[in-house]
Structure 1
């Protein structure tokens, strides 16, 4: 026995146009109430299977329908027949688009819309199995635990039509409101104080071509960004953000692990007495040698903190790290300066009384420091030196984290620009205050 669906799609009939007397193919005569003559474009009210009367004279469509009337498609495991083509525009604007209306045996009507090459599949409670009434929250609506944001309000008008429907689509007065959460959209239609909700899903051109078995090259090229067009940049950003978060956690764990395996060790901590060298330059102080200390790890960094109570003056020191086993040396210099005063009713200061120096990759061994101080204050009598090995290198870790954040930051910037371009088509852009 033939399936009811197959039988349904074989049904077709003809009626005569009362205006031009041409025969019109009717795909769903039992349900259809309005039809357009494809010869004279009269909008007709179907009275019965033999009679129709003129309701309104329409103009010829501006475009040839890409999806043919009478064609069939299987959408979400349901067979549909395309029975109408509409050209619409937004009242008071130049925006215009096209809609294809399809009917099924038991899932009612669905609409496939096309605007500037962007396609949407639109269905209501008859089509969507788990449909739930959206909940309005002013400029947003909630649908299945997802918040949809107001994108557009408009009054659609039918400017041309081919095919048939079971309601007076041309003369109905609709006020539409669209809320988006790409790739989905909630469409609220108000007709005579009654509100109906529909859910739209963005379809890629490849999907349309596959559903209807046509060449993708026949479809119009996309212009701009669709209202609910999914952003590949958003997916890229969220993916990179997740991966970067994992990488940052790993970097921090490695950093902490290295700190546990190679803990900091104090090698030297002394406040040395220094004295001016009368036989040398006016700023030269007598050099001195520190007590010896041992570096026990195969390779370590050593941080030197130097400090002195300079006051409106400076102190500079050259430190030579000497390996007592092979006489290898590492030389660094650092200055300390601190100035302060009172000027024009305000106190000021600059500089510091302490500084730090870092040496890296110091091999295991016994060491001492040769220290060569100089100062603008010949009465300066102390120089504090602290040496620490295996110092935690937060700078390198922070630089690594910063570098890891560059790619997601770029993805965020591109994604945000994509969203700004999307919302340029809306009167309700969240970016309006940034212009």
Structure 2
């Protein structure tokens, strides 16, 4: 349609399919009576937070609409909201209402469809709505084309809410209208009309949905919990504790080097590998360094464990602490082929002893913890020391020759090491090995329970959050269903 403004003689064009009663000139902002082609009054131009233009097209719920008019309404002196009048190709009406960045899509409904047996709890389409509040407003600014005369008198709005739906009754001195509205996200409006920017929303809108769909979340959590339970049941019934490695390692065999264990295979789901380490420590300590090597990926998991046990008497009472056995877990071990790299050390190095006498009773041998060997000539009573057995074997002194002759062997080092274990009274020295045992456990129930706890906690937090969300949504209503302090 084509209209020439009688005030400024500018053209106003728009492809419309309905009869126009009034329009606002796009150039001079005068309200024009289209039938009499005369100016009525000058209007304020809608500008603040107005994001749609008259004539702009967009598709909502599969229907293409044209923006035919924009009206800014005012409540009190500082509260404003914007209403965009829409028309489809058949001339049907629809409206987009935006307040503080929250959008509602509305369509007119017949008053008889809105049943009101209870003035505060009427029904529409099988849903019960709760009266929210009454408000009075007037037109502050306007633009576009109108199929009826604008009413600048005070209008009363009565709003009823059910979740993300609402019924709005607009009542003026001339007529009363009802509208059914649903929340529409600003992103949907942005896509529908291809808008670059939209107003940021503040506060909670009257039909704004909660941030999470608690019913859908409950269904997801229930399905996830059921699947986790079935998986846990399968893994638990298909697996038992399985000893995959067991070996005693002499400290002398791993001194300054690592022992490579035999390979072993783990089959099944990811689970903890429990390792037990035992050493006969007595007022001493031992340490085990263990590396689990995945032979397919060469991934290495390293751990170290101290084994300590001490005891004694103090103030007439005995005390003890530590243990000769320690357990630790390598968590989340997957199936595959593995082996261990093992090294270990202990408090003290060699068994100490004294009083090893030769068969001819001419010499005695002793050794301290540091490995120093003492040879005593019983005839002269003199003692000569050597740093270790190998040096003693190579020594050509008189006392060394006497020892070799008295014991009848050149291999004194081997003899001393063998006899030391028999003669030693030192508990530290007599501890010669560490025993390792690795057991692959079933999947831990701790992880299973923790996941279920997290899901329950999340749902409870969402439910509590929804309660406070609704309390804040209804805090401006005089008919709130929530207790207020």
Question: Shorter-chain TM-score: what band?
Answer: 0.5 to 0.7
- For 1:27 and 1:15, the matched residues in 2 are separated by 15
Deviation at 1:55, TM superposition (A): 2.0
What residue ranges of structure 2 are gaps of 5+ in the alignment? Answer: 230-450
- For 1:105 and 1:119, the matched residues in 2 are separated by 23
Please tell me whether the aligned partners of residues 117 and 223 of structure 1 are also in contact (alpha carbons under 8 angstroms).
yes
1:122-133 matches, within 5 Å, as 122-125=106-109, 133=113
1:280-429 matches, within 5 Å, as 406-429=457-480
Deviations 1:368-391 (A, max 9, x none): xxxxxxxxxxxxxxxxxxxxxxxx
Please tell me whether the aligned partners of residues 27 and 83 of structure 1 are also in contact (alpha carbons under 8 angstroms).
no
Alignment partner of 2:115 out of 135, 146, 170: 135
Match of 2:288 in 1: none
Change (3 A) 1:222 1:141: same
- For 1:42 and 1:403, the matched residues in 2 are separated by 62
Alignment partner of 1:120 out of 86, 104, 124: 104
Match of 1:236 in 2: 214
Structure with greater Cα Rg? 2
Deviations 1:312-362 (A, max 9, x none): xxxxxxxxxxxxxxxxxxxxxxxxxxxxxxxxxxxxxxxxxxxxxxxxxxx
SS at match of 1:434: coil
Change (3 A) 1:404 1:58: closer
SS at match of 1:135: coil
- For 2:455 and 2:143, the matched residues in 1 are separated by 56
Residue 146 (1) aligns with residue 127 (2): yes
Relative to the length of structure 2, the TM-score reads: 0.49
Match of 1:203 in 2: 184
What residue ranges of structure 1 are gaps of 5+ in the alignment? Answer: 1-11, 252-399
Match of 2:26 in 1: 38
For the aligned residues, what is the CA RMSD? Answer: 3.4
Aligned length: 265
Please tell me whether the aligned partners of residues 159 and 166 of structure 2 are also in contact (alpha carbons under 8 angstroms).
yes
- For 1:21 and 1:246, the matched residues in 2 are separated by 69
Residue 53 (1) aligns with residue 41 (2): no
- For 1:403 and 1:226, the matched residues in 2 are separated by 30
Match of 2:235 in 1: none
- For 2:17 and 2:60, the matched residues in 1 are separated by 23
SS at match of 1:232: coil
Deviation at 1:401, TM superposition (A): 10
- For 2:17 and 2:219, the matched residues in 1 are separated by 55
1:9-28 matches, within 5 Å, as 12-16=1-5, 18-28=6-16
SS at match of 1:60: coil
Change (3 A) 1:193 1:44: closer
- For 1:230 and 1:236, the matched residues in 2 are separated by 11
Relative to the length of structure 1, the TM-score reads: 0.54
Change (3 A) 1:201 1:31: same
Deviations 1:3-51 (A, max 9, x none): xxxxxxxxx31322x223333334438511111122222112111xxx5
- For 1:224 and 1:64, the matched residues in 2 are separated by 16
Please tell me whether the aligned partners of residues 153 and 178 of structure 1 are also in contact (alpha carbons under 8 angstroms).
yes
Match of 1:389 in 2: none
